[in-house]
Amino acid sequence: MKPGRLRTTKNERTFFTIIELLVVIAIIVILAALLLPALNKARGRARATLCMSNLKQLGLMTTQYENDYNGWRPGRSPDGIAWSLFFINNGYAASNEKKYFNSTWYVTKRFLCTEWYEKYETDGNFVWATATYGIRTDKDDNSDGTWYLNNNFNHFGKVKTPSRFNYMGDSGHVPTLTASSVFYNGMSTDQVIFMQHARRADLLFLEGHVAAIGVENLKDSLIYNYFIRK
């Protein structure tokens, strides 16, 4: 047999050469590199869709409360507790959607943006009650002498365009890159709307619709203080 050729007789095994193995490995690496971005993009779209579904469900819950209490909605910390716990305690979400352990209250992860799940998920389905979607805490103007919405309850009957007033949505704390149950639209603060999903933020508006808002909305007078998550 000539040097460099594989034996192919019936009773002898055939082996790959080192070069052939390297070629196969290189092909696999190239295919993985081509497919990984597409897989990550599909995964991101799935998370964004679930996030919008979460907000839609929470929107129905807040609307039900508003209808029951003549137009009033909970603020960031109604009765001094996290807004997520408030809704559960008052029967607008199931009682088993909260859990207390390690001296901390937890709520089911539907109260939190899907992009935070890996960071905050505990015991399979729960996240900190204070690490949830944010509730807006500032007004459009200070016509009544203050920029701030009430921490307990607010009545939005005077809002002229409810479809442009975002009430709840993706939010975070800028210095620590952590979830925040509070955000401000236009005030100078570090608790802001986060562009969680491919530089878009999912937001729930007063009249009930949920929308993914992108950087093109930065000039919108009602929605302009964004933090773009890398």
What are the residue boundaries of the structural domains of the chain, listed by start?
49-227
Query: pLDDT category, 46, cuts 50, 70, 90?
Result: confident
How far is it, in rounded angstroms, from Cα 86 to Cα 78? 7
Q: Which amino acid is at 45?
A: R
Query: pLDDT category, 152, cuts 50, 70, 90?
Result: very high
The pLDDT > 90 percentage for the chain reads 50
For 207, residues 6+ apart whose C-beta sits below 8 A from its C-beta are 162, 163
**Average pLDDT rounded to a whole number, residues 93-111:** 94
Q: What's the predicted TM-score (pTM) here?
A: 0.79
Start-to-end C-alpha separation, the chain = 60
pLDDT of residue 174: 87
pLDDT of residue 11: 52
Query: pLDDT category, 21, cuts 50, 70, 90?
Result: confident
Q: Which residue has the higher pLDDT, 170 or 218?
A: 170
Mean pLDDT across the chain: 84
Q: Is the pLDDT of residue 230 over 50?
A: no
Query: pLDDT category, 221, cuts 50, 70, 90?
Result: very low
Tens digit of each residue's pLDDT (9 = 90 or more) over 51-94: 999 999 999 999 999 999 999 999 999 999 999 999 999 999 99
pLDDT of residue 124: 78
pLDDT of residue 13: 55
